[in-house]
Amino acid sequence: MATTRRYLDWNATAPLCAPARDAMMESLQLPSNASAVHAEGRAARAAVEKARRQVAALVGADAAHVTFTSGATEAANHVLTPEFRMGRAELSLGGLYVSAIEHPACREGGRFDRSRITEVPVTAEGTVDLDALAALLAAHDRDAGMPLVAVMLVNNETGIIQPVAQAAALAHAHGGMIVVDAVQAVGRVPVDIVALDADFMILSAHKIGGPKGAGALVAKGEVLMPKPLMTGGGQEKGHRSGTENVHAVVGFGAAAETMATDLSSRNAAIGALRERLESGMKKAAPDVMIHGEDAARVPNTTFFTLPGLKAETGQIAFDLEGIALSAGSACSSGKVGESYVLTAMGKDPALGALRISLGPETTADDVDQAVAAFAKIASRRRPAGQAA
């Protein structure tokens, strides 16, 4: 009998939700370029602008401050630059301060030279070290330009919620700006760009049930903006040239509107499933290590180490049992390596770790099958010191 597959890798990508699929199918009937001035073009433009409002509402932003991109990586490379414009005046930033647990899209520093990128450590609990950030910003050479801070709202591996509002306060107190990667946060915790006092926010469609190939850079205002990464025809108010991907943008908007509704009840249901998962795992293997267990986490993520089991071995073993999960961040073309997040938290990266991430369509049966697979895999581990 064929094994029933269970998809528990929602942090890597969420399956396309029905509202996004329906909206995209309808948009396929729009034949025109959204920049065209005729009736067909205006219809395409209206669809894009509706999506812009839907995405803005997800994070409490003004729709005029949403710039659509091809994804979060492009948005990160767009905003992480030493070259900004304040109106028509050019403004230079002197350095980038990026937390040690950022997604590689931000951790690589975008358009900053490596010599101008400083890594901000995190605590053993997996949150950015605010004291260290304050010290680094205090020592920043203001003559070189203002500082730019990059701190994610939710870590993609551990699910730990970061103290973004406090980091923003520090950045602003030292005359700088802050960029917040909210990719793993939207639809899982309330997100408000104004309340967080974030200058810029990075979003991705496919993490919330939208299509791959769509993302956004959301700004708190519109006076200060990064120098464009994509130049050409001047679309997106000149911030991101290129013909708009109407179908992907429409799907993004529909997914954003869907995930903005019933957040508390959805979180309660998913949180109960994660509690069921983690309780079952602890019963099957009391020595399982759940990273960030005592920290504030989004309700869908479990990042764990099973002593005696290498991450790559575990990922294959779960896959053979019909369970789709990740070994940390699924962003490196299928590579399974040591977790830099564990390293940043002061843990031995050789431990390896696996990530189970749940979603709105996850069922109790999915979780029970994952626990059964976990118990089976745990039972055939080699003794400590002889990792499989």
pLDDT digits (tens, 9 = 90+) for 72-87: 999 999 999 999 998 8
Cα 301 from Cα 10, distance rounded (Å): 9
Residues with a known catalytic role: 331
Task: Tell me: pLDDT of 330 over 90.
Answer: no
What is the per-residue pLDDT across 113-156, written as a single tens digit (0 to 9) for each? 999 999 999 999 999 999 999 999 999 999 999 999 999 999 99
Comparing C-alpha atoms, which of 162, 169, 214 is closest to residue 191? 162
Helix, strand, or coil here: 201?
Answer: strand
Gap between the Cα atoms of 3 and 383, Å rounded: 28
d(CA 268, CA 13): 21
The CA distance from 123 to 225, in Å, is 32
Q: Which of 347, 374, 369 is nearest to 291 (CA)?
A: 347
Spell out where 205-286 has E strands: 215-219, 224-226
The domains of the chain, with CATH numbers, are 6-15+262-379 (3.90.1150.10), 21-259 (3.40.640.10)
> Which residues are CB-neighbours of 89 under 8 A, at least 6 positions away?
none
Residue-wise pLDDT tens digits, 220-264: 998 899 999 999 998 998 899 999 999 999 999 999 999 999 999
Cα(219)–Cα(242) distance, integer angstroms:
20
pLDDT interval class at 382 (50, 70, 90): low
Give the pLDDT of residue 333. 41
